[in-house]
Each structure stands twice: as structure tokens, then as C-alpha cells.
Chain A
């Protein structure tokens, strides 16, 4: 599975949303499924799936799907 498909799957699973909802613009706190509690689940699943360890700023800055890709890119995950 390529990384784009993988990140889509993680968002779907962690937030309980449909694949078509996962666009780069999807933003934290704009849908009820992506609140602070869900964000923590999302972060844990991203870390597991991509085998990275994010730091506080990464977690707080991860406010859109696009941002998540940018942050993961810092850890050599290519999209």
C-alpha cells in the first residue's frame, strides 16, 4: 500500500469517517469526529503505521491532513 492510501486508512479508522472525507483540507475541530480525544487516537495510529515518534509540536501542529503529510515528511515518509 502506498503512503497516501495508508494515511487515508489511518484517518478513516482513527476518526471513524469515510475515505471520501479524507482530503488534504480536512481540518481538526471542524467535524465532530475529529476532536481532541480522537486526535490522540489518530496520533497513536499514525505513529504505529509509519513507525515514527512525533513530538509535542508535531502533534499540536497536525491540524489538517495536508499538515500531517508535511510533518511525516520530516521523518522521511514520502507522499
Chain B
């Protein structure tokens, strides 16, 4: 059977290792066989139904088999991280009424009712890993194929490469690493080890890892752990996305790459564009460490002003707009929204920036109040709303990867405990700040800029 994502069967890569875990590994032929088997098992349960699946996904062989089986069987699936709380999963089930809940080896039939699902619907990804439900991005198989092809046109992935899957597959960047490697017949090394485990560093040395992919906080950890001193002859290139890595760190990584004959790709994207929208060619990173480069092949990036007109002058600031075949079908909040889509192929990114005289783009800020907590997009408004719903009078502010919850009530500790549970982040990720009263704008709304400015410097 031909595999829809790559227009051919996984079988064609035969005995190449596809997925390698600490305990196990599977070849492409073996993977295709397991995917086919799994679809057969499922079809016995759902018959001719085209089910909406909620898939709890871990970085395991079993989860990847489930995911690929959904794609091949043309079952739309809502991809959720396996460590999402049960309440979060229950809320998504409420929102979308999926037919089936799949996790590792388990298959739970929730409903037999055929939902009205658009033919082109492929997968649904969350835009905010932290607060769970709310808004999902609907992507088509065409989106996945188009983005995979664009990425393969610039990343030097080779047939006998093995990459390390250090990003969760429930996250668009992690998923793009999986897609691109499977499309090339390359290997994906799965692991639960973190950079704080000795085993991680042994793995880097001994598992023939050709590439690493990570978000800013991950590279910061790598550098603090003296990554630049490691001799890793098999490693050929690094990719970084998922937010802005401090320029000083980009320079350090670029130096490392330069001295050790490796390449560093700084990339830019959003789940709304499947994953990738732009990348900086490795040979430009030393000269322009703050740049996201230019649009990926088959895509276009532009800057527009407040009234939506294209800006043609270099260094003039406006909003980044992307156009390409990888732009999502649309946002959805419930199953009624899955019936039909009218995609525009144009994405207003909400990022503010400019391009230079050579056409390389730079990001300088964001239009919306969104930060990154441990690589996951986190809307300050959503966190604030969730806490207010629970009876806490709070305002959330923050920048880059810093979340500050402000309160007036003197309930700092209780709110912090609650927020840690809600967002599933370590205590360090949240700073509490107590204020006497909320600074207000003339229209009576909270003045978030003033609130942020009154924080202690190292809050």
C-alpha cells in the first residue's frame, strides 16, 4: 500500500532502521508491516466508520506506529502529548467528541457516530501545550507533504542518517523531524534520556547521531553542559527553532560548528504553518546570528504595515506574513468546525520584524501576548483567564521564556501552586509578583506594559 505522506510505501527503504529505542528497533519494512496490522485491527473495531481519533503520543515505537496508521488509514487525529493530564484529555473529548482514544497499545471506542469530517483533514495539533485544549490547528495531508518537501530541499538529511528525537512528536517541530527522516528512509533514535543524564552524552557519542534538533532552552542547557567541548565525529548538523535563541548562544553554536566542521541551521516556524516557514542557511549564521533567514522553498515571507499593505523598504518594521502550501486549513474549537474549511494559504504570524538589504528577515517582537514556556507556546491571556476562572484575581505578564503572575491578594503561594499544577511546569518557570493595585490604561483596561515595567529587574 502506498504511504500517503510520501507517496510511496515505507517498504521501499526495506532493511534501513526506521526507529531505534533504548530497548528495541524496527526497520522500514517492519514498520510498514506493523502499521498495516494495526489498521486491520482497528478496522475490525470501527468497520466503515471514518473515526476522529484522539491520539496520546509519546516518543515510542508504538506511538509512531499509531500515528502512521492514522495517516495511512486517513483517520483524522488529534495529537496530544502522552503526559497531558487526564482532565486535559477529557476536556478535548468534550470539545470534539472523538470516536476513539488511542494510546500505545490501547484502543478505546468512545462513540460510533460518524462525524462530518472534511475529506482533506489530516491532523490536529494544539497551539498551546501548557493550557491544554482551547484552540487547535487543523492540518491537511497536503500541508504535511508540502512542508516535508520544503524542509528536505534545504536540510542535508541523508538516507543513512540517524537523528535524535529529543523533541516530543506531539509538537509540530518534533513531528517535522519525524516526517522528514521517514521520507528519506533515515533513522530516528528515540530516548527518554535528558541532557542531565550521563547516558545522553554516551548516546551522542556512540549512537552515530548525525543531527540534533532543539528549542532555545535545550541548546542553553547543552552549552552550559560544555557541549562545545565534545568531539562528535558523526554529528554533521544542528537545527534550532521554537523561539529565539539569544544571539550570544547562536554565536557560540556557530563557532562550535565552524571549528568542528558542522552546520547550524537557525529556523523559524509556527504550528499554523505545519512547522517550518523560514531558515537561515548555515553559511550565513556567523554573519547574521540574529536572523531567521528567508522563506523555505515554495514559501514566501513578507512584511506588512498596520493597514495590511506590503512594505518594500528594507529595515522598515511591520508584521511578518507567510504564504505557502503548508499554511493550515484553519483553527478549530469543536467538531462542527471539522466539517469544512476554507484555507487562505496566507498566515499572519503575529510576529513583528523587518528584512535587511539582502532580504534576510529579523524578528523583533510579537503583536500578541505570547511567551514560550519550555519551548511550548503559552498565551498570557489564556493563563490569566484560566486562573481568573478558578477565582484568583491575577494578571499575567512576561517576555520570551519568563512567566510572571501578578496578584493583589497576598495569595502568592497558593496561586503559584495552582498554576504549577495547571501548566505542568517546574516551580522555577513561574515568578510571582504582588502589587497594591493594577495599573490601568485610560480606557480602564489593565496596562500590561506598566505592570511589566514595575517588576524587580531580575524577576
User: Which residues of A come within 8 Å of B, CB atoms?
Assistant: 32-33, 35-40, 43-44, 54-57, 59-61
Is B229 part of the contact surface with A, judged by Cβ < 8 Å? Answer: yes
- A53 shortest CB reach to chain B, Å: 9
Please measure, in the bound complex, the distance between the C-alpha atom of A55 and the C-alpha atom of B226, giving whole angstroms.
6
Contact between B427 and A44, CB atoms less than 8 A apart: no
Question: Are A33 and B225 also in contact (CB < 8 A) when A57-B198, A60-B197, A60-B198 are?
Answer: no
| Closest A-B pairs by Cβ, 10 of them | A32-B427, A40-B224, A37-B428, A35-B426, A56-B226, A56-B225, A36-B196, A60-B198, A59-B225, A55-B226
Contact between A39 and B226, CB atoms less than 8 A apart: no
Question: Are A59 and B226 also in contact (CB < 8 A) when A36-B196, A36-B221 are?
Answer: yes
Besides the known contacts A32-B427, A33-B427, A40-B220, 9 further A-B residue pairs in the complex with CB atoms under 8 A apart: A36-B194, A36-B196, A40-B221, A40-B224, A44-B224, A54-B226, A55-B226, A56-B227, A56-B229
- In the bound complex, residues from chain A placing their C-beta under 8 Å from that of B227 are 56
- Measured CB to CB, the nearest residue on chain A to B194 is A36
* Interface 0/1 of B211-235, CB less than 8 Å to A: 0000000001100111101100000
Between-chain CB contacts (< 8 Å), 27 pairs: A32-B427, A33-B427, A33-B428, A35-B427, A35-B428, A36-B194, A37-B426, A37-B428, A38-B428, A39-B196, A40-B220, A40-B221, A43-B224, A55-B226, A55-B229, A56-B201, A56-B225, A56-B229, A56-B230, A59-B224, A59-B225, A59-B226, A60-B196, A60-B197, A60-B198, A60-B201, A60-B225
Please measure, in the bound complex, the distance between the C-alpha atom of A61 and the C-alpha atom of B224, giving whole angstroms.
14
Find the residue from A33, A36, A57 having the highest chain B CB count within 10 A: A36
- A38 shortest CB reach to chain B, Å: 6
- In the bound complex, residues from chain B placing their C-beta under 8 Å from that of A44 are 224
- In the bound complex, residues from chain B placing their C-beta under 8 Å from that of A43 are 224
- In the bound complex, residues from chain A placing their C-beta under 8 Å from that of B225 are 56, 59-60
Please measure, in the bound complex, the distance between the C-alpha atom of A21 and the C-alpha atom of B226, giving whole angstroms.
29
- Measured CB to CB, the nearest residue on chain B to A38 is B428
Find the residue from B227, B229, B428 having the highest chain A CB count within 10 A: B428
- B289 shortest CB reach to chain A, Å: 22
Q: How many residues of B contact A (CB 8 A)?
A: 17
- CB within 8 Å of A: which B214-259 residues: 220-221, 224-227, 229-230
* Interface 0/1 of B409-443, CB less than 8 Å to A: 00000000000000000111100000000000000
- A4 shortest CB reach to chain B, Å: 25
Find the residue from B220, B225, B229, B427 having the highest chain A CB count within 10 A: B225
- B457 shortest CB reach to chain A, Å: 16
- B230 shortest CB reach to chain A, Å: 8
- In the bound complex, residues from chain A placing their C-beta under 8 Å from that of B197 are 60
- Measured CB to CB, the nearest residue on chain A to B220 is A40
- Measured CB to CB, the nearest residue on chain B to A15 is B428
- CB within 8 Å of A: which B350-377 residues: none
Please measure, in the bound complex, the distance between the C-alpha atom of A39 and the C-alpha atom of B224, giving whole angstroms.
10
- In the bound complex, residues from chain B placing their C-beta under 8 Å from that of A37 are 426, 428-429
Please measure, in the bound complex, the distance between the C-alpha atom of A61 and the C-alpha atom of B227, giving whole angstroms.
16
- In the bound complex, residues from chain B placing their C-beta under 8 Å from that of A35 are 426-428
- In the bound complex, residues from chain B placing their C-beta under 8 Å from that of A36 are 194, 196, 221, 426
Please measure, in the bound complex, the distance between the C-alpha atom of A15 and the C-alpha atom of B428, giving whole angstroms.
10
Please measure, in the bound complex, the distance between the C-alpha atom of A37 and the C-alpha atom of B429, giving whole angstroms.
9
Please measure, in the bound complex, the distance between the C-alpha atom of A36 and the C-alpha atom of B194, giving whole angstroms.
10
- Measured CB to CB, the nearest residue on chain A to B426 is A35
- In the bound complex, residues from chain B placing their C-beta under 8 Å from that of A39 are 196
- Measured CB to CB, the nearest residue on chain B to A28 is B196
Find the residue from A32, A33, A43, A56 having the highest chain B CB count within 10 A: A56
Please measure, in the bound complex, the distance between the C-alpha atom of A59 and the C-alpha atom of B225, giving whole angstroms.
7
- In the bound complex, residues from chain B placing their C-beta under 8 Å from that of A61 are 198
- A60 shortest CB reach to chain B, Å: 5
Question: Are A32 and B221 also in contact (CB < 8 A) when A56-B226, A60-B196 are?
Answer: no
Please measure, in the bound complex, the distance between the C-alpha atom of A36 and the C-alpha atom of B225, giving whole angstroms.
11
- In the bound complex, residues from chain A placing their C-beta under 8 Å from that of B426 are 32, 35-37
- In the bound complex, residues from chain B placing their C-beta under 8 Å from that of A59 are 224-226
Please measure, in the bound complex, the distance between the C-alpha atom of A17 and the C-alpha atom of B137, giving whole angstroms.
42
- In the bound complex, residues from chain A placing their C-beta under 8 Å from that of B427 are 32-33, 35
Please measure, in the bound complex, the distance between the C-alpha atom of A37 and the C-alpha atom of B196, giving whole angstroms.
10
